[in-house]
């Protein structure tokens, strides 16, 4: 199996996504999704943004690399009675089953950024968007002081180095890389805009218990703990993450965790 797929198959992102629902709804509201739109949600997971888009009446297709997340999305869509939202497997680097210019809006929130071959990803997103349509990406920002950038930075220091030629997903959080990738897909820089926005995590337990969720269910954190256990460093990693999550917790309580993490919102006009 390709390492990108193995990473997300390994965990169960639904357990983390359950803490992200409110911000998913709010982001779709800000993007301005309406009834008339055909929407592709790429790297959609179990539907944190796809389902809110469908609730607003858009016709939504969620595409994700990971079969159990596609199943979870379809299950959630059925439970909500949303006939206008379906999920299917696919790879952001090659969306061969989707026709050219098929969507008014392509959304990818912390999704396509994790695919390899970022130039192919940009090209595919542009290809399936109709002229006059929009692409909106949400990407974590390297070295940002808030939760997810710090989580990925800390865990990568405990994980074996990636193979040569690996392009860090975090490069999708750097404006010049984004301009270069969409530029190669034919989009002028003037058609791309950027904003730093916040995404909230709302977990009904302590910061340390939230770290344990990432340790059990979030692929990149699982890999870091596996490597750290082999080196006898799992305690150090746990302590670093407990400190980070406690510091970032804005709930004012020890038994509930509410954390805001910054991301780069990219809007591309096709």
Q: Does 13 bind ligand SAM (CB under 6 A)?
A: yes
Binding of ligand SAM by 23 (CB under 6 A): no
C-alpha pair distances (Å), 100 with each of 96, 103, 121, 131, 153: 9, 9, 14, 10, 37
To the nearest whole angstrom, how small is the minimum distance from the Cβ of residue 39 to ligand SAM?
A: 13
Q: What are phi and psi of 198, to 5 degrees?
A: -115, 145
19 contact partners, CB below 8 Å, separation of at least 6: 201, 202, 203, 210, 213
Interface residue with ligand SAM among 11, 54, 77, 110 (CB under 6 A) is: 110
- Map residues 46-85 to x or -, x wherever contact with ligand SAM holds by CB under 6 A: --x---------------xxx--x----------------
Nearest to 210 by CA among 11, 12, 19: 19
Tokens of 1: 């199996």
CB atoms within 10 A of CB 196: 12
Nearer to ligand SAM, 60 or 109 (CB): 109
| Residues contacting ligand SAM: total by CB under 6 A | 21
Q: Which is nearer to ligand SAM, 22 or 191 (CB)?
A: 22
Rg (the chain; Cα; Å):
18
Stretch near ligand SAM under the rule CB under 6 A, chosen from 37-45, 125-133, 183-191, 256-264: 37-45
Q: Which is nearer to ligand SAM, 110 or 245 (CB)?
A: 110
What is the spatial distance between Cα 155 and Cα 235, in angstroms, rounded to a whole number?
Answer: 13
Residue with tokens 């169960």: 12
Which member of 19, 28, 33, 43 binds ligand SAM (CB under 6 A)? 43
Which is nearer to ligand SAM, 97 or 132 (by Cβ)? 97
* Residue 8 makes contact with ligand SAM by CB under 6 A: yes
Residue closest to ligand SAM when measured from CB atoms: 45
* Residue keyed to tokens 């989707």: 98
Report d(CA 111, CA 190) in Å as an integer: 24
Contact between 115 and ligand SAM (CB under 6 A)? yes
201 binds ligand SAM (CB under 6 A): no
Stretch that binds ligand SAM, among 32-40, 87-95, 183-191, 250-258 (CB under 6 A): 87-95
Q: In sequence order, which residues have a C-beta less than 8 Å from that of residue 111 and are 6 or more positions away? A: 41, 42, 43, 44, 45, 64, 92
Q: Can residue 109 be called a binding residue for ligand SAM (CB under 6 A)?
A: yes
Answer for the pair 86, 62: CB distance below 8 angstroms, yes or no: yes
Q: Is the dihedral of CA 32, 134, 5, 230 positive or negative?
A: negative
Does 11 participate in binding ligand SAM (rule CB under 6 A)? Answer: no
Q: Does 45 bind ligand SAM (CB under 6 A)?
A: yes
Does the footprint of ligand SAM cover residue 104 (CB under 6 A)?
no
Q: Which residues bind ligand SAM (CB under 6 A)?
A: 4, 8, 13, 17, 20, 43-45, 48, 64-66, 69, 91-93, 109-111, 114-115
């Amino acid at each position: 199996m390709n390492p990108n797929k193995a990473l997300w198959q390994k965990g169960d992102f639904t357990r983390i996504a359950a803490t992200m629902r409110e911000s998913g709804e709010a982001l779709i509201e800000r993007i301005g999704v309406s009834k008339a739109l055909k929407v592709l949600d790429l790297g959609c997971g179990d539907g944190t943004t796809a389902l809110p888009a469908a609730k607003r009446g858009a016709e939504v297709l969620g595409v994700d690399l990971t079969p159990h997340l596609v199943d979870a999305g379809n299950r959630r869509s059925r439970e909500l009675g949303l006939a206008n939202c379906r999920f299917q497997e696919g790879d952001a680097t090659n969306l061969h089953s989707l026709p050219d210019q098929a969507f008014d809006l392509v959304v990818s929130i912390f999704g396509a950024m994790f695919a390899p071959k970022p130039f192919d990803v940009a090209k595919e997103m542009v290809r399936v968007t109709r002229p006059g349509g929009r692409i909106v990406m949400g990407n974590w920002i390297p070295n940002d002081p808030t939760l997810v950038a710090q989580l990925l930075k800390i865990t990568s220091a405990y994980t074996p180095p990636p193979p040569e030629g690996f392009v860090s997903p975090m490069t999708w959080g750097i404006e010049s890389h984004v301009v270069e990738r969409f530029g190669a897909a034919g989009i002028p820089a003037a058609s791309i805009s950027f904003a730093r926005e916040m995404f909230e995590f709302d977990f009904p337990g302590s910061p340390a218990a939230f770290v344990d969720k990432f340790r059990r269910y979030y692929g990149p954190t699982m890999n870091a703990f596996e490597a750290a256990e082999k080196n006898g460093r799992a305690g150090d990693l746990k302590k670093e993450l407990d400190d980070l999550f406690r510091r970032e917790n804005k709930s004012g309580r020890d038994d509930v965790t509410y954390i805001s993490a910054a991301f780069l919102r990219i809007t591309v006009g096709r």
